[in-house]
Structure 1
Amino acid sequence: MNARVDHILDEALALPADERSAVAVALLDSLENADTASVSEAWRAEIKRRRDELHAGNVRAVPWAEVKQRFRSL
């Protein structure tokens, strides 16, 4: 990333959770207008990367019930 992006990210991360969520949604919505093929390819690459990490044992899967419980405790 560059200095401008780092600054914006730092500012966004300093926001309260509800405002960070609103920023995240706005950014994701803005990608809907982006080239769908490049977004789809990016997701394919991300899914492959995550699958490879899981198969290599570098990460472990967490049951959805546990994830929900963690979020509720925040």
Structure 2
Amino acid sequence: MSLPAEELFEEALKLPERERRAFALRLLESVGEESLEDVERAWVDEARRRLDDIRAGRSQPVPWEEARGRIFARG
């Protein structure tokens, strides 16, 4: 992300959850729709990048229970 986008993101995180949800939805609506093929291709590309990172030692997988705990600790 560019510096202005990163700064905007940090400011948006300070909003109450309800306002963040509304803001996120408005942002999503502003970018238009992608075709199902584009979305599927993007997910496949991301999965390949992540697998390459794990195989190259740039990333370490996390067991599901640990990941789940981190996810629900945020809420």
Matched residue SS, 2:15? coil
After the TM superposition, which parts of structure 1 deviate over 2 Å for at least 4 consecutive aligned residues? 7-24, 68-74
The normalised TM-score by structure 2 is 0.59
Residue-pair matches, total? 70
- Pick closer, same or farther for the CA change 1:66–1:15 going to 2, 3 Å: same
What is the aligned partner in structure 2 of residue 57 from structure 1?
57
CA distance in 2, matches of 1:13, 1:48: 30
RMSD (Å), alpha carbons: 3.1
Q: Quick check: 1:13 aligned with 2:13?
A: yes
Where do 5+ consecutive residues of structure 1 fail to align? none
Aligned-residue identity in percent: 36
What is the aligned partner in structure 2 of residue 69 from structure 1?
69
